[in-house]
Amino acid sequence: MFVIKGVSASPGVAIGPAVLLPTADFAVTNQHVEAAEVKAEIAKFNRALEKTLADLDESEKKLRQTLGGEYASLMSMHKMILQDPMLKDAAISKIKNERMSAQAAIFHTLQELAASFDKIEDKFFKERRNDIFDVGKRMVGNLQGDKGQFWDSIRRPSVLIARDLFPSDTMNLQENQIIGFCTDLGGKTSHTAILAQSLKLPAVVGLSNAARQVKDGDTVIVDGENGLLIISPDKYTLARYKKTQREIKKAESLLQTINHLPTVTADGRSFKLMVNFDPRTDTKENKKLITDGLGLLRTEFLYMNIPQPPTELEQYQIYLATAKKFDMRPVTIRLADLGADKLPDFPLDEFDKDNNPFMGCRGIRLFLKNPELMHIQLRAIVRTACEVPAQIKVMIPMVSSVEEVRHVRAALNEVLAEFEKQGKKPVNRIALGAMIEVPAAAIALDGMIGEMDFLSIGTNDLIQYLIAVDRVNPDVAHMYDPCHPAVVRTIRQIIQTAHQRGRQVSICGEIASDVRMVPMLLGLEVDTLSVPPRMFLRIKNRIRNLNFEACSDTAQAALLASSSEEIRKLIETQSQDEDS
């Protein structure tokens, strides 16, 4: 038995034989053709081109229905690349003049093209290199039929192990017997993760070298709950996971029955439970959830994969469609937290200078240096607020001083004045609040809170900054610890300060959807938890089965604890008490 730790991308447990996706490199089987075969080879090339175009058409249609416009437009980009004379003419000339096979011609043409793209300094252009190879893979696959053969060869429910998944692979996941997957690359918010969640497949990503350690046919367990890949599990482990699998299945069906019930603890203390909504993965099931509102709309995705910032109209259309789904409930829109690990493709000077991006120009800092970007986003938000009954809340990311909040307040007032000149006013007053994720803001909150209508704790970054740990650095990532006494005490301090001034606090980081941490957060008297839709019913169920008084005791004891170990034990003890 062998266990590899990765990042959980989609929950659930899958058990089955492993199949390894052939690597992204091309397997060009025959290199040359005889002079007499050149004509036939060119015809073969053209047929493969037609077939690939038809495949892309098909994928574009399907993706538009399942995953939405963003993935679909990637396919139309791929179609243009495929029809590009630079690819077509160069490949045909290689068949004609150098008597290469169609496969070899495509391979060499793509390599030349990729090499020219590698020379470009600009990140956006460089990334297009992957698109070119994805198109090439499809086409070579159509020439030799091996990729098709790969998918066809899967005859029983299997776990897919891959270095990385390309958009062209995604359709096959749905159509073949894939019950879960693992990739070496990718993070929690990569397109692979988003895809896994929307397909409801258990998935673990970021395993670094799993693809080399698993053999075809090995029995593997994908533990999407804890981000583990278990290779050749022993009898005991296998039995334990089969039990977990049954429990998850049972729990899932049970969960549907509590959707319409209020979010109250067993002893009657009520909390608000909202969702971190992502318009890109709005599935049918998510639509059925009865929530207290939208706790966090991340807007960075609007700025990604496009060569220029989104216009007011583009943003407004998405905010409007989103806000309408929540009718009269609150809709919290976070101003784009660009920078650090979320770098858009369009150039901004600030990104070039950042040697230490998490400490650098990100979130509100970037917006204050590029007031036009903020102005456009605020206009799109205000425009939405003028048309919907939902209470629109604007959340500022990465706040570290009261001046930053005042700047945004002034910018918002300016936008409101612009709309008022045209006779337009928001249906409800727009609330302005901050995401508390910089320790300075947590510590000096009492001086800043007068400027805020509400606040939300961004635990992911707060923990990272409090413990001074870069989660991406494998040497220190294990030190990232939500149970650190400093984390618990800081959350407590934020909530106390806010409550003294009559402000509500929500928590929207990963910690809020961790069933083990929920009792602690309730005990610290948070008002609202905001969780991803897929975790919504699970967390609701957890809250309904908790005893607030016991949570309070756990929290009080945790505030006095001197180590993470102690806090973890406290949490476990409470869980055991409740299970018994």
Q: Does 81 bind other proteins (CB under 8 A)?
A: yes
CA distances from 556 to 484, 485, 561 (A): 14, 12, 9
Q: Does 124 bind other proteins (CB under 8 A)?
A: yes
**Amino acid letter, residue 477:** A
**Amino acid letter, residue 497:** T
Nearest-10 Cα torsion for 160, 164, 168, 171:
30
- Residue 60 backbone phi and psi in degrees, to 5: -60, -45
Which of residues 3, 27, 40, 86 is near other proteins by CB under 8 A?
86
Query: Which residue stretch of 206-214, 263-271, 319-327, 340-348 sits at the interface with other proteins (rule: CB under 8 A)?
Result: 340-348
Query: Which residue stretch of 343-351, 383-391, 526-534, 544-552 sits at the interface with other proteins (rule: CB under 8 A)?
Result: 343-351
Query: Which residue stretch of 122-130, 161-169, 536-544, 562-570 sits at the interface with other proteins (rule: CB under 8 A)?
Result: 122-130
Query: Which residue stretch of 75-83, 185-193, 221-229, 316-324 sits at the interface with other proteins (rule: CB under 8 A)?
Result: 75-83
Which of residues 43, 54, 120, 239 is near other proteins by CB under 8 A?
120
Q: Does 87 bind other proteins (CB under 8 A)?
A: yes
CA distances from 479 to 147, 205, 227, 484, 487 (A): 41, 20, 17, 9, 12
Query: Which residue stretch of 29-37, 93-101, 305-313, 420-428 sits at the interface with other proteins (rule: CB under 8 A)?
Result: 305-313
The answer to whether residue 508 is catalytic is yes
Please state the three-class secondary structure of 176-217 as a single string: CCEEEEEECCCCCCCHHHHHHHHHCCCEEECCCCHHHHCCCC
- Residue 71 backbone phi and psi in degrees, to 5: -70, -35
Residues numbered 309 to 328 that lie near other proteins (CB under 8 A) are 309, 311
Q: Does 304 bind other proteins (CB under 8 A)?
A: no
Q: How far is the CB of 189 from other proteins (least distance, A)?
A: 22
Q: How far is the CB of 243 from other proteins (least distance, A)?
A: 50
Closer of 128 and 516 to other proteins (Cβ): 128
Geometric angle at alpha carbon 305, from 225 and 276, rounded to 5°: 40
The answer to whether residue 386 is catalytic is no
Alpha carbons 575 and 519: distance in angstroms, whole number: 9
Which of residues 117, 150, 358, 419 is near other proteins by CB under 8 A?
117
Closer of 126 and 407 to other proteins (Cβ): 126
Which of residues 113, 411, 432, 442 is near other proteins by CB under 8 A?
113
Q: Does 93 bind other proteins (CB under 8 A)?
A: no
- Annotated catalytic residue within 191, 483, 484, 551: 191
Contact between 154 and 174 (Cβ < 8 Å): no
Q: How far is the CB of 305 from other proteins (least distance, A)?
A: 9
Q: Does 306 bind other proteins (CB under 8 A)?
A: yes
Element (H, E) at 40: helix 38-66
Q: Name beta bridge partners: 277.
A: 297
Alpha carbons 376 and 495: distance in angstroms, whole number: 32
Closer of 217 and 371 to other proteins (Cβ): 371
Which of residues 25, 50, 58, 122 is near other proteins by CB under 8 A?
122
Closer of 120 and 254 to other proteins (Cβ): 120
Nearest alpha-carbon partner for 163 in 130, 116, 139, 135: 130
Tell me the CA end-to-end span of the chain in Å, nearest whole number. 32
Q: Please give the order of strands across the beta sheet that includes 13-20.
A: 2-5, 228-231, 219-223, 13-20, 158-162, 178-183, 203-205, 7-10
Active site residues: 191, 508
Binding site for other proteins (CB under 8 A): 77, 80-81, 84-87, 113, 116-117, 120-122, 124-125, 128, 132, 306-309, 311, 345-347
